[in-house]
């Protein structure tokens, strides 16, 4: 594992831990993070059509821009942001754990080719 990848994995561990703390502080049960964990992987369904569409949908569902946008829009538009906090934090937790495990953003050629290196190969 290269030094930049190691640092990125440690950042992901820190984000996951911070999300768990924030989730519990906001009064949500921690086990919800586990219960909805795989929901965010529905973005992989694009791979059924093509590697390109799969990568685009996967990256859209595995970018921190999504959780940040949910929180930002809700804070601006809605009075009650509780549902958005739940969605954004569980989404960010999924992304952080995926990155910690080496599942990075995808290139359009194949699922295993990510910005963190090849998934499933010894580095």
Cα–Cα separations (whole angstroms), residue 56 to 10, 11, 19, 81: 25, 24, 25, 28
**pLDDT score recorded for residue 37:** 96
Where is average pLDDT lowest: 15-19, 49-53, 91-95? 49-53
Each residue of 7-25: pLDDT tens digit?
999 999 999 999 999 999 9
Domain map of the chain by residue range?
A: 3-118
Sign of the C-alpha dihedral computed for residues 100, 40, 88 and 83 taken in this order: negative
C-alpha distances (whole Å) from 84 to each of 33, 41, 44, 47, 77 are 14, 19, 22, 28, 11
Q: What is the pLDDT of residue 121?
A: 60
Residue 46 CB coordination number (10 Å): 20
pLDDT tens-digit map of 75-86: 787 777 888 899
């Amino acid at each position: 594992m290269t030094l930049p990848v190691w640092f990125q994995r440690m950042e992901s561990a820190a984000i996951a831990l911070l999300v768990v703390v924030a989730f519990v502080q906001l009064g949500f049960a921690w086990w919800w993070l586990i219960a909805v964990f795989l929901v965010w992987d529905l973005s992989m369904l694009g791979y059924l059509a093509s590697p390109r569409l799969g990568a685009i949908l996967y990256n859209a569902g595995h970018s921190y821009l999504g959780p940040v946008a949910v929180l930002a829009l809700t804070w601006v538009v809605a009075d009650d942001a509780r549902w958005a906090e739940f969605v954004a934090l569980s989404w960010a937790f999924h992304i952080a754990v995926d990155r910690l495990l080496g599942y990075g953003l995808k290139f359009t050629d194949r699922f295993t080719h990510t910005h963190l290196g090849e998934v499933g190969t010894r580095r």
